[in-house]
């Protein structure tokens, strides 16, 4: 990849994704294999007048060895320096940039029960601090290829060709391949906002899903919430783009209302392990049955949805047309950032407080009264198909076809 292209993409991530502000701290999370690109992101942060840039490096291989050899009880321990580090970020509210290049199957050989046990023990320590930062600072996730990820997407190519092709696909999906990327995102955000405005004008009470794969499902929405899409605002009014790419219009549903069966239409990379051919049965908002063809996958899901009370309930409903630019690449990315923006999806776990109309002016008690789902997790899974139908029942009892044959009908 040309140096000029890498620099342009880094600039887009910093200025449009995170929208780094003058004298703001920045924290970048990235793999040790990504230094060749991260250096350009750091440089662009300083050009945007960032105060200081910290890079938190990680390694899939080291994480795998740690889970393999360290004792579970040791991994459950959280040293004070990790808590204080997060508290420092909660005080400084840095712009957070996540560079995603992980191998979708990086932890496939690791004991999944061990991963879940560690997560269950450590998440309650970190979650309250992260909750304090919610909606107060900018963050963005963007991707670059790694060799292992690239060869998952292009298994018949050499490492070099696979990486090159994945770079091309990432830049295309992130609207950074042609023209002015900044203007591309301005237009894209405007389009998504117009679609959300249309959805919100319908005053939807219930969404009803059906497709030939067996999905037959309905869920209610919460009055006083709104569909969002594209960029977001911090409470202080800074505009940023959390996901690069993004194609969704999303909202948090009534956590007690989901009923019926949904089947995944794409595989899911979960805890560093790709799972596929699965579905869920919901009753009174809760997953009561997991459908899989693989007993090990079922065990992973069973552990996941029992992490806490909210882990088995929905926190997000997202509408994405099946003919989205990402889906039209014809690629299965095995990466949630891309696959969730290829077609409609749902997410179990924590919902989004910023979908509440006027949330930024509300007290914690007022926000809590909306009873949006809360959890240690947020896991998206794709349900969009080329024949998916979604009907809306409005609060004045009208029926509106929202999706037909997998795409927008409004």
Determine the structural domain holding residue 125 and report its residue range. 3-144
pLDDT tens-digit series, residues 253-283: 999 999 999 999 999 988 888 899 999 999 9
Q: What is the mean pLDDT of residues 32-44?
A: 98
- Determine, yes or no, domain membership for 163: no
Interstrand relation of 95-100 and 239-240 (parallel, antiparallel or unpaired): unpaired
Judge whether 51 lies within some domain.
yes
Asked which of 126, 144, 162 is the last residue of a domain, the reply is 144
Domain count, the chain: 2
Question: Are 217 and 309 found together in one domain?
Answer: yes
Please indicate, yes or no, if residue 164 is contained in any of the structural domains: no
Residues 355 and 252 reside in one and the same domain: yes
Q: What does residue 379 show for φ and ψ, rounded to 5 degrees?
A: -120, 115
pLDDT digits (tens, 9 = 90+) for 107-148: 989 999 999 999 999 999 999 999 999 999 999 999 999 999
Same structural domain, 351 and 241: yes
Q: Do both 198 and 139 map to the same domain?
A: no
Looking at the fold, whether 190 and 333 belong to one and the same domain comes out as yes
Is the pLDDT reported for residue 16 higher than 90? Answer: yes
| pLDDT value at residue 399 | 97
Is residue 92, in this structure, part of any structural domain at all?
Answer: yes
In the block, which residue shows the tokens 């989004």? 352
Confidence at residue 168, expressed as pLDDT on a 0 to 100 scale: 97
- Comparing CA positions, the residue from 318, 331, 315, 333 lying closest to residue 388 is 318
Closest CA to 101 of 35, 14, 180, 40: 35
In CATH, what number is assigned to the domain containing residue 88?
3.40.1830.10
Identify whether residues 40 and 127 lie together within a single domain.
Answer: yes
Cα(7)–Cα(4) distance, rounded to whole angstroms? Answer: 5
Rounded to whole angstroms, the Cα distance separating 102 from 104 reads 6
* SS3 at position 52: coil
Which of 85, 119, 144 represents a domain boundary (last residue)? 144
Same domain as 399, residue 345: yes
pLDDT single digits (tens) 303-319: 999 999 999 999 999 99
Whether 7 and 127 share a structural domain:
yes
> Does any domain span residue 176?
no
Together in a domain, 264 and 320: yes
Please check whether residues 215 and 317 belong to one and the same domain: yes
Mean local confidence (pLDDT), 363-382: 95
Please give the full DSSP string across 74-117, using - where no structure is assigned.
Answer: HHH---HHHHHHHHHHHHH--EEEEEE---TTTTTTS-HHHHHH
Residue 139: inside a domain, yes or no?
Answer: yes
Instruction: Decide if 152 is inside a domain.
Output: no
Q: Residue 43 corresponds to which tokens in the numbers above?
A: 């440089």
Is 372 within a domain?
Answer: yes
* 267 shares a domain with 386: yes
Using the 3D structure, point to which of 127, 144, 161 is the last residue of a domain.
Answer: 144
Strand (E) or helix (H) holding 31:
strand 26-31
**What percent of the chain clears pLDDT 90, i.e. is strictly above it?**
95
What average pLDDT does this structure show over 31-49?
98
């Amino acid at each position: 990849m040309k140096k000029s292209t890498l620099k342009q993409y880094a600039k887009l991530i910093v200025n449009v994704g995170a929208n780094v502000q003058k004298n703001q701290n920045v924290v970048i999370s990235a793999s040790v294999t990504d230094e060749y690109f991260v250096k350009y992101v750091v440089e662009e942060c300083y050009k945007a007048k960032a105060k200081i840039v910290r890079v938190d490096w990680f390694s899939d291989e080291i994480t795998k060895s740690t889970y393999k050899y360290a004792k579970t009880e040791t991994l459950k321990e959280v040293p004070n320096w990790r808590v204080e580090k997060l508290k420092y970020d909660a005080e400084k509210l840095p712009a957070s940039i996540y560079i995603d290049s992980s191998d979708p199957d990086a932890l496939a050989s690791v004991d999944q029960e061990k991963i879940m046990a560690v997560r269950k023990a450590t998440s309650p320590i970190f979650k309250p601090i992260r909750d304090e930062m919610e909606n107060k600072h900018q963050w963005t996730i963007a991707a670059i290829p790694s060799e292992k990820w690239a060869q998952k997407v292009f298994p018949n190519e050499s490492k070099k060709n696979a990486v090159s092709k994945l770079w091309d696909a990432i830049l295309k999906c992130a609207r950074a391949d042609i023209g002015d990327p900044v203007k591309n995102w301005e237009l894209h955000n405007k389009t998504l906002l117009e679609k959300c405005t249309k959805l919100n004008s319908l005053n939807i009470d219930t969404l009803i899903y059906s497709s030939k794969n067996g999905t037959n499902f309905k869920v209610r929405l919460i009055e006083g919430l709104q569909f969002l899409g594209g960029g977001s605002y911090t409470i202080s009014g800074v505009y940023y783009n959390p996901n690069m790419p993004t194609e969704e219009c999303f909202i948090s549903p009534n956590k007690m209302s989901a009923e019926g069966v949904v089947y995944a239409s794409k595989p899911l990379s979960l805890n560093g392990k790709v799972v596929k051919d699965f579905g869920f049965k919901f009753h009174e908002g809760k997953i009561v049955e997991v459908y899989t063809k693989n007993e090990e996958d079922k065990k992973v899901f069973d552990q996941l949805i029992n992490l806490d009370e909210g882990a088995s309930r929905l926190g997000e409903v997202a509408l994405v047309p099946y003919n989205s630019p990402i889906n039209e690449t014809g690629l299965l990315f095995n990466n949630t950032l891309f696959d969730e923006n290829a077609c409609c999806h749902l997410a179990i776990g924590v919902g989004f407080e910023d979908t509440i109309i006027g949330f930024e002016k509300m007290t914690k008690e007022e926000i809590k009264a909306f009873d949006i789902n809360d959890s240690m997790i947020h896991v998206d899974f794709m349900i969009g198909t080329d024949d998916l139908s979604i009907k809306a029942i409005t609060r004045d009892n009208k029926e509106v076809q929202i999706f037909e044959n997998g795409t927008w009908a409004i």
